[in-house]
Structure 1
Amino acid sequence: MKAWLLQDFGLNNLQMAEVPTPVPQAGELLVKVGAVSLNFRDKAIVDGIYEPHMVPKPLIPVSDAAGVVVAVGAGVSRFKVGERVNSHLYSRWIDGPPGPNEPDYCFGSPLPGGLAEFMIIHEDSAVRAPDMMSDAEAATLPIAALTAWYALMDVGNLQPGQTVLVQGTGGVSIFAAQIALAHGARVIATSSSDANLARIKALGVTDGINYRTYPQWEQKVLELTDGKGVDITIDVAGGDGLNQSVAATKAAGVIAQVGFLTGQTTALKLMPLIFRQATIRGIAVAPRTSFDRMNPFLDKHNIKPVIEHVYAFEEAVQAYEHLSRGAFGKVVIQVAN
């Protein structure tokens, strides 16, 4: 089969090659990949800044895939040939709290990912892809949508009428806005682009804050919430901006730390955190059962992924370059037609 292989760190070391097509073992599915979507994690792995000691070389990258089952190993009962499935990042995290070694079993590193014509997914890890979505659309769900869903619904216990803050207009933030709005919440978004703020407002977001125009954007959030702050903040930036997230979140509110776009370390000011009595919760996607709950919600509310561009399989490097520049929503690679 054709596959993209990361031979070493750096995008120039991502190269297409011919490799043996994997054979499903007991309990496994062989999936003909229809499409994959890129997340910041995928870029960070290529750049060598995401747990580099765990990245095998060569590596078939990219965790998020959708495709059709074309063969099954012995004993498979959850899926059959011809059914469409999604990959799930944490291949052994099925339900409940995460175990201590879930990162050891992630697709796209250290396990082979979906940037290939075929991939192996254990039947316990696979999730039925939504019938209403194409492969390109379904491929956006495993990290971006599920992270937003888990942070809002499972961890944040979002209620109708509450307020959510999303940072930027990337995949997780767009999905968080869509899910929160469908659940009857108010959404405030930040971005460095007035054009992107206008686009996310078109989805139903009521307020947008340009953080270049207002560097102290947390003050604008407080103004918009009568000094209270938001109930849940989806923090994709990380870095020292976490202090602004604390200030923008209500007393006893939740900050879901899902990303590290501006840095993997922070100088956290403890007194505001203590006085706000806020919860900072690290979010590393979710268990598979949360994925199973999310898809019917997306279907019920007719939530469609926002995809900025779909690249051909041969254009994988261009897709990574697009992600590096930033995207409104998701960047997808179509592997098979």
Structure 2
Amino acid sequence: MRTLTVDAPWGLDAIKVAEAPDPSPGPGQVLVRMRAVSLNYRDLLMVQGMYARGATSGGAITPFSDGCGIIEAVGEGVTRVKLGDRVATMFFQRWISGPPNLDKLSSSLGSPIPGAGRELAVFSQEGVSKVPDFLSDHQVSTLPCAGLTAWRALFEDGDLQPGEMVVLQGTGGVSIFGLQFAHAAGLRTLITSSSDEKLARAKTMGADHLVNYRQTPEWSGPVREATGGVGADMIIEVGGGGTMEQSIRAIRIGGHIAIIGVVAGLGSGFNPAVLIGNSAKLQGLSVGSRDMFEAMCRAIELHRIQPVVDKVFPWTQVKDAFAAMQGGEHFGKIVLEF
């Protein structure tokens, strides 16, 4: 089989397509022929050597956490799935249910566990899940990280009610999933982007308020205006330090800011006294459990939600796909197909 591999000195030019022996499943394991993988910002950091576990692993890694594939063989004792089932790979292979802990969060694909960027891959039967039949392979591959992150933020941690306001930063994978889930749940949404074209597209998907942050860098103002001065009930914070100040200004008293990314950079520090003054919650969020994933899939099936795949590349053109991500060309997700 062929597999993607990347090693020091890291970077896009260090990504190689290598030959490797075909793997076979052991007890409790399944062999999956990969059909598609989707890109996350974490993957870009990882191949650049900027992701802590990848950069310090001391050897080559197989990237990508999010994949869709078909089960080709099963090991002894496998009962969760069977031959021919179409499955998604779970981002955290050992986070099945309950709250996170060190062991669960140490089982992420790509690093430290070899990822889904290969033609054939062996996973624990506990680390895969069956998926809605009506979705394409490309769409399924977008669910394990971006989809689940948005789902957990809104419904596992956010405890939002219909009519409440969610702010979504940008039009990448997590934010577009957040828009789709929020719209289906009857939440009000405000989405930001540097592109009027992308904002117009978000409007067709149900976004209630649109803000071009290049034209209006102080976007907390429009959030306050849209909420009658109260502020947003929840903000899905993907920018990190580069956008945190505006998020803190935009959140309501007792509101919830879910930090899921740092795509706008580390930025500068912020004054924690502001959070004390308005009793807002600031929570880091890293994907979710398999139980959360399966609850999300039930909702996707019920509402017939179609994940947005914007660009598709052959998996061997992975460098071009990452270049598209770096250029911010996408709306929703970028996918590699096998």
Tell me how far apart the structure 1 counterparts of residues 238 and 270 of structure 2 sit (CA, whole Å): 16
Hey, what's the Cα distance between the residues in 1 that align with 2:190 and 2:58? 40
Structure 2 equivalent of residue 154 of structure 1: 156
Number of aligned pairs? 335
In 2, are the aligned partners of 1:233 and 1:249 still within 8 Å (CA)?
yes
Which of 106, 113, 120 is the aligned partner of 2:108? 106
The more displaced of 119-128 and 31-40 is 119-128
- Report the TM-score, using the length of structure 2 for normalisation: 0.96
Which ranges of structure 1 fall in alignment gaps of 5 or more residues? none
Q: Which residue of structure 2 lines up, in the alignment, with residue 125 of structure 1?
A: 127
Contact 2:162–2:185 (Cα < 8 Å) also in 1: yes
Name the counterpart of 2:49.
48
Q: Which moved more, 1:307-316 or 1:278-287?
A: 307-316
Tell me the CA shift for residue 236 of structure 1: 0.4
Cα deviation, residue 54, structure 1 = 4.3
Shift in alpha-carbon separation, 1:240–1:125, aligned structure 2, 3 A: same
Q: Is 1:183 matched with 2:158?
A: no
Deviations 1:57-78 (A, max 9, x none): 2211110001111011111110
Q: Distance in 2 between matches of 1:262 and 1:102?
A: 28
Mark the runs of 5 or more structure 2 residues left unpaired by the alignment.
none
| Cα separation, 2, equivalents of 1:142 and 1:135 | 13
Equivalent residue number for residue 35 of structure 1: 36
Q: CA deviation at 1:50?
A: 1.3
Secondary structure at the aligned position of 1:26 is classed as: coil
Offset of residue 215 of structure 1: 1.2
Q: What residue is the counterpart of 1:22 in the other structure?
A: 23
After TM superposition, where is structure 1 displaced by more than 3 Å over at least 4 residues in a row?
52-56
Over aligned residues, Cα RMSD in angstroms? 1.2
Q: Distance in 2 between matches of 1:30 and 1:190?
A: 41
Are the counterparts in 2 of residues 54 and 110 from structure 1 also a CA contact under 8 Å?
Answer: no
2:218 aligns with 216
Deviation at 1:294, TM superposition (A): 0.4
- Sequence identity (%): 40
Determine the structure 1 residue equivalent to 2:336. 333
Instruction: Output one character per residue of 1:220-265: Cα deviation in whole Å (capped at 9) or x when no partner.
Output: 1101111011111000000142121111111101101000112246
CA distance in 1, matches of 2:87, 2:293: 12
Alpha-carbon distance in structure 1 between the residues aligned to 2:243 and 2:23: 44
State whether residues 240 and 267 of structure 1, in contact with CA within 8 Å, keep that contact through their aligned partners in structure 2. no
TM-score normalised to the size of structure 1?
0.97
For 1:14, give the aligned amino acid.
I
| 1:48 positional shift | 1.4
Partners of 2:95 and 2:105 within 8 A in 1 = no
Residue pair 1:238, 1:266 contacting (<8 A) in 2 also: no
Superposed displacement of residue 198, structure 1: 0.8
Query: Is the Cα contact below 8 Å between 2:94 and 2:103 reproduced in 1?
Result: no
1:259-302, CA deviations, whole angstroms, 9 ceiling, x for partnerless residues? 01122464021121111110011110001100010001011111
